[in-house]
Structure formats: C-alpha cells, structure tokens
Homo-oligomer: A and B are copies of this chain.
Amino acid sequence: MGLQRGGVAEEKTWPIEGVIEISFPDEETARVVYESVLYEHESVPYRRSRIEFLRDGNRIIIRFLARDNSALRGTLNSYLRWIKVAVDSLEV
C-alpha cells in the first residue's frame, strides 16, 4: 500500500503519488509565479494530501502524496488555479 499512518489499516484509501512540472519561458517568470503561489502554499493546511512545492530554474515542481482521489483532485485544482491566477496577473 504505501501511505498508511499510525498503524491503522485503511481498507479504502488508496495512496496516490505524483509530480507535475511546469516549464516557464524564463527563470524570472517562474520565480514570480512561484513566490506568489508559495504564499498560498504556506497559508493553507492540507490534511488529506502532502505537497512539496518547489522551483528549479525555470520550472515549478509540485510533488504530491494523497490518500484518496478526491483529496488529490481538490489539492491539484487549488495549486493549478493559484498558478493560473499568478500567470494571468503577469499578463495584464
């Protein structure tokens, strides 16, 4: 199984892990978007998913570990939406 905690076997939580990498045209754009989303990342506690939010040069990297599909969907939607908002604000 993988993601189980506290020794309690959970029959219907199927662990999900993954990574999303977004390549920006340059490092400065990646940095601005990253810092804007980092603020949200640090503000919101996610109990059902574990997220690493990183930047490597011109790429933003989201690594995640979730206990179930719905938790993952909610989490990824939040991050992708925050990134979109940050990107849109650059384009104004």
Contacts and interface: CB of A to CB of B under 8 A. Distances in A.
A14 B20 contact: no
A83 interface: yes
10 contacts: A2-B23, A14-B87, A16-B23, A18-B19, A19-B19, A20-B72, A69-B83, A73-B81, A76-B76, A77-B77
Report the contact-size class of chain A (Cβ under 8 Å from the partner): 20 to 34
Copies in the complex: 2
A48 interface: no
Contact of A69 (B2, B17, B80): B80
A52 to B, nearest CB: 13
Interface string A55-86: 00000001000000110110011001101100
Contacts of A72: 20, 80
A25 interface: yes
